[in-house]
Amino acid sequence: MNYTLNQLHIFLKIAQTQSVTKAAEELYLTQPAVSIQLRNLQLQFDIPLTEVVGRKIYITDFGKELAEAAENILNQVHAINYKTQAFKGQLTGKLKVSVVSTGQYVMPFFITDFVGQHEGLELQIDVTNKKGVLKSLENNEVDFALVSVLPTNLNIEKLDLLQNKLYLVGGLKNEYHKPIYDKTLLNTLPIIFREKGSGTRQTMQDFMDKNNVSILKKMELTSNEAVKQAVIAGMGYSIMPLIGIKNELNNKDLQIIPVKGLPITSTWSLIWLKGKNHSPAATHFLKYLKDEKENIVHSKFDWYEKY
């Protein structure tokens, strides 16, 4: 037997994704490169690791056992690497953060320098909607979560990072020159919502309900980027977080329409389960944020404060 850690890593990813294509995407490799490594690994075993039915790949029972063993081996390798770094006096381990989709425009600025200071640190950021974020937090699968709407059913602690502002946004098809419009303007516009489970969706819906807004035409899309592109294309209007439309405003692809009662404001907060026993990596990151967050906001989000 002469298989490599790289082959085990690739095979484990194939087993997890049930797809050579998806494994290649997640590993940032070409599909042929992944297929070659799978073939080279298979040549070392008389028992098939996979089988192809139609155009879909399936992992055999033996393949599943190998994938489980590969995961254990790779975890041990990571542990050795962490211990090596620790003996050198470097911060090691994994830092896991779950981020609501719009938070992808926020979190990198608060974490990049910290990760850059600690070469032995492994970072994992999962970007999903609010429902998925809170599920991973509740299951204790992550160290922290970034949200703009605090959960009411979890016992948490928090660190506020940045104000969140949501404005009515439209494309350039129509012009809006008034200093401010009444909320009744929303009754005349086709409105694009995020999917259920999204924090932005919840914030929009609460605003509509509170102000008795009756939607002329309602559409629903499943990501902030999809909503943004639909608005640019003239399909409708949406109440969107300012943090995610900086480039589109600068490029004049989108316009903010001033409406009474807007922007809706909330706070981007890093949250964690109360009483959680933080790892050294998580503890150091929390201290870093407490010490540096004001400097980060001032240096990275100065444009944001002008709105």
Q: Which domains does the chain have, with CATH numbers?
A: 5-87 (1.10.10.10), 93-162+267-306 (3.40.190.10), 164-265 (3.40.190.10)
- Cα distances (angstroms) measured from residue 1 to each of 43, 48, 57: 10, 15, 24
Which helix (H) or strand (E) segment holds residue 17: the answer is helix 5-17
The pLDDT value recorded for residue 261 is 93
User: Across the chain, what does the average pLDDT equal?
Assistant: 90
Close Cβ partners of 57 (under 8 Å, ≥ 6 residues apart): 14, 18, 19, 20, 50, 51
Q: Residue 223 above 90 pLDDT?
A: no
Residue written as token pair 């989000």: 301
Over range 105-111, report the average pLDDT.
Answer: 95
The answer, as to whether pTM is greater than 0.85, is no
Strands 93-100 and 144-147: parallel
The pLDDT value recorded for residue 300 is 92
pLDDT digits (tens, 9 = 90+) for 110-150: 999 999 988 778 899 999 888 899 999 999 999 999 999 89
Percent of the chain with pLDDT over 70: 96
Question: How many angstroms separate the CA atoms of 39 and 49, rounded?
Answer: 10
Q: Residue 28 above 90 pLDDT?
A: no
pLDDT digits (tens, 9 = 90+) for 157-198: 999 999 999 999 999 988 898 999 999 999 999 999 998 888
Amino acid at 208: M
Query: Which burial class, exposed, middle or buried, applies to 66 when counting CB atoms under 10 A from its CB (0-12, 13-18, 19+)?
Result: buried
Q: Residue 100 above 70 pLDDT?
A: yes
Question: How many angstroms separate the CA atoms of 54 and 264, rounded?
Answer: 51
Q: Residue 87 above 60 pLDDT?
A: no
Question: How many angstroms separate the CA atoms of 269 and 154, rounded?
Answer: 14
pLDDT digits (tens, 9 = 90+) for 70-85: 998 887 777 666 566 5
Residue 87 token pair: 């003996």
The pLDDT value recorded for residue 79 is 67
DSSP 214: P
Which helix (H) or strand (E) segment holds residue 282: the answer is helix 280-300
Close Cβ partners of 167 (under 8 Å, ≥ 6 residues apart): 239, 240, 242, 256, 257, 262, 263, 307
